[in-house]
Amino acid sequence: MRFLDEDEKRELRSHLKEYLVEGGLATVEQISRGQNFSCPEIAPIVKWAGGKRQLLPTLKPMLPGCFNKYFEPFFGGGALFCSMAPNKAVINDLNGQLITMYKQIRDNPSAILGELHQIQFRYNALETMDEKDNLYYELREEYNRRISKRSEDVAALLIFLNKAGFNGLYRVNSMGRYNVPPAHRKQINAFDEKNVMAFSKILKNSEIMCGDFEDACKDAKEGDFVFFDSPYYNTFDTYQAKGFSEEDHVRLRDLFRALTKRKIWCMLTNNDCEQIKELYKGFNIRSIPVKRVISCNGKNRTGKEVIITNY
């Protein structure tokens, strides 16, 4: 894979507004991404707390110009991965249910779409919000019943609950039971069929792992690129029962240093706070303003995050 340099991009823009590719027109941006044109940009399958969609316009121009394999060890909804559709990737998350869902999307997208159609049709056809909420609780119970039996067949339920539940949270109680409340939406549009099929296609080029971030980076080689989007410093970690501790942040910084020595491109996002700036002293740290949604009333406030690179 090769990215166009700035002069090539300028020249291309002056000649072309659009470029004909298999299956339609590619934008100049897709062309300059240097990606396989037959795979258009896709959207995350789940809405994930801490998802990076709003930061994409800032993150993408900061990617290394050229790299081999793409690694995303804290995958969540994988917003950056989706926007790049890399040809070779390793994706990982500690959340086993999420990773099982991705494996099912890779292997059996049609079956998931069939089940999703049925669930969504049932929900949207109900008249009152009470009926919709009751169905949500029934499906949540069914999801918990299936995961307690270690059933792998939960992808459609997880996607639906994620879209019909509160704010893209994945939260479990001390017994490991999913307990996110309903978002009380009148209509749910949980999926886009073409998008699920395109996602399935790029997952076929990816190694999908479930474990700790350090293991996920073991096979990274010189010239590869790793994007780290861990739970943020000093924030309540809604993702895992154990949380992401101070020691985990130090372990992550040590890995960032080790990968730098191995000549692997690294990019990392986190809160803009003194502790993080101290941990990553010596690397390139860029501070950016971001809008954050305050969970209960949906209002925005502005915060600051950092994007750290070793290049």
Ligand X SMILES: C[S@@+](CC[C@H](N)C(=O)[O-])C[C@H]1O[C@@H](n2cnc3c(N)ncnc32)[C@H](O)[C@@H]1O
- In the region spanning residues 35 to 74, those forming contacts with ligand X, defined by CB under 6 A, are 48, 50-52, 73-74
State which residue, 52 or 132, has the beta carbon closest to ligand X: 52
CB of 303 to ligand X, least distance (A): 14
User: DSSP assignment of 209-240, as one string?
Assistant: EES-HHHHTTT--TT-EEEE-PPPTTS---S-
State which residue, 12 or 49, has the beta carbon closest to ligand X: 49
CB of 85 to ligand X, least distance (A): 14
- Does 244 engage in binding with ligand X (CB under 6 A)? yes
CA distance to 181, 221, 239, 275, 291, per residue, from 298 (Å)? 15, 42, 20, 29, 11
**Choice from 105, 161, 231, 264 touching ligand X (CB under 6 A):** 231
Asked if residues 227 and 80 have their Cβ atoms less than 8 Å apart, the reply is yes
State which residue, 114 or 303, has the beta carbon closest to ligand X: 303
- In the region spanning residues 68 to 97, those forming contacts with ligand X, defined by CB under 6 A, are 73-74, 76-79, 92-95
For residue 172, give the nearest of 200, 201, 140 by alpha carbon: 140
**Choice from 160, 178, 199, 239 touching ligand X (CB under 6 A):** 239
Kindly list the residues in this chain that would bind ligand X in the complex (CB under 6 A): 48, 50-52, 73-74, 76-79, 92-95, 212-213, 229-231, 239-240, 244
